[in-house]
Amino acid sequence: MASDNDKVRNLLMQVPLFNQLDALELDKVVAGTTEERLRRGEVLFHRGQPCNGFHIIVFGQVKLVAISPGGAEKVVRLLGPGESFGEALMFLDKPYILTAVALADSLLLTIDKHVLLDELERQPQLARKMLAGLSQRLHAFVSDVKSYSLHSGTQRVIGYLLQVGESAGGPELRLQVSKNVIASRLNLTPEHFSRILNDLTSRNLIRVDGRDITILNEQGLREYGAEER
């Protein structure tokens, strides 16, 4: 029977960040890695708690949210298998600025900060990979800000549906999280998000059945989004 270290090692070997490390180097990372199993709705960390490492999602889904003093929630990021978070704060030695909540039963790997920093000193290619990942995330953040500033709500919803449809590999897609969560991620109210879906449905561009959405006219959807500019 495989040991816990063997299981963690096999999981880390599937992560692009670590797949070029040799066995000895990987064992050092494994020694500083713990598994975090979360039930749906469980909090991984709250804003203000110390960041002592970073996290990689093996399976499941996590949302990073900002919560106002009045309890209102704004979804900042939605994360799925293979994605990581917490690196920037770990390097800055700052506490978490957001709260992380599991949207489904999830398994995460948490890599201890001190173990990783020691390995980074010995492995320049590991540092390059982490920098590339952080740069991609910064680019995505800038794109989000640009989208919120320059695109209408309809354009944001159409862009999201086309992106999910592309990932699904066809016109039929399923929303993996609630419409309220998606609305928050797109910087829309749930009511506005529903009105846009209803509008797209009335134009025979999509069909909505709960969380199942079918893109009926991809070209028409793109053209309608372009008209909103």
Instruction: Walk me through the domains of the chain, giving residue ranges and CATH numbers.
Output: 4-148 (2.60.120.10), 151-227 (1.10.10.10)
Q: Which of 42-56, 60-74, 83-97, 211-225 has the highest mean pLDDT?
A: 42-56
CA-CA distance, 87 to 136, in Å (whole number)? Answer: 13
Neighbours of 225 (CB within 10 A): 21
Over residues 95-102, mean pLDDT: 94
pLDDT the model gives residue 2: 47
Does the pLDDT of residue 1 top 50, yes or no? no
Neighbours of 38 (CB within 10 A): 20
Secondary structure letter of residue 47 according to DSSP: T
More confident residue, 48 or 227: 48
Q: What percentage of the chain exceeds 90 in pLDDT?
A: 26
What is the chain's percent helix, strand, coil content, to nearest 5?
A: 45, 25, 30
Which residue, among 54, 136, 131, 57, has the nearest Cα to 96 in the 3D structure?
54
Does the pLDDT of residue 154 top 50, yes or no? yes
Mean pLDDT, rounded, of the chain = 84
Does the pLDDT of residue 229 top 60, yes or no? no
Which residue, among 33, 101, 91, has the nearest Cα to 66 in the 3D structure?
101
Q: In this predicted model, what pLDDT tens digit does every residue of 47-77 receive, in sequence order?
A: 999 999 989 999 999 999 998 888 788 888 8
- DSSP conformation letters of 50-96: ---EEEEEEES-EEEEEE-TT--EEEEEEE-TT-EE-HHHHHHT---
pLDDT the model gives residue 120: 79
CA-CA distance, 109 to 54, in Å (whole number)? Answer: 8
Strand order in the sheet with 73-79: 43-45, 99-102, 62-67, 73-79
Q: In this predicted model, what pLDDT tens digit does every residue of 170-192 receive, in sequence order?
A: 788 888 888 888 888 888 888 99
pTM: 0.70
- CA-CA-CA-CA dihedral for 17, 23, 28, 31, to nearest 10: 100
Residue 186 DSSP SS3: coil
Separation in Å, CA 109 to CA 53, 85, 86, 104, 105: 10, 11, 12, 16, 14
Q: In this predicted model, what pLDDT tens digit does every residue of 195-205 receive, in sequence order?
A: 999 999 999 99
More confident residue, 144 or 52: 52
CA-CA distance, 37 to 110, in Å (whole number)? Answer: 11
Buried b (16+ CB within 10 A) or exposed e, 112-141: bbebbeebeeebeebeebbeeeeeebeeee
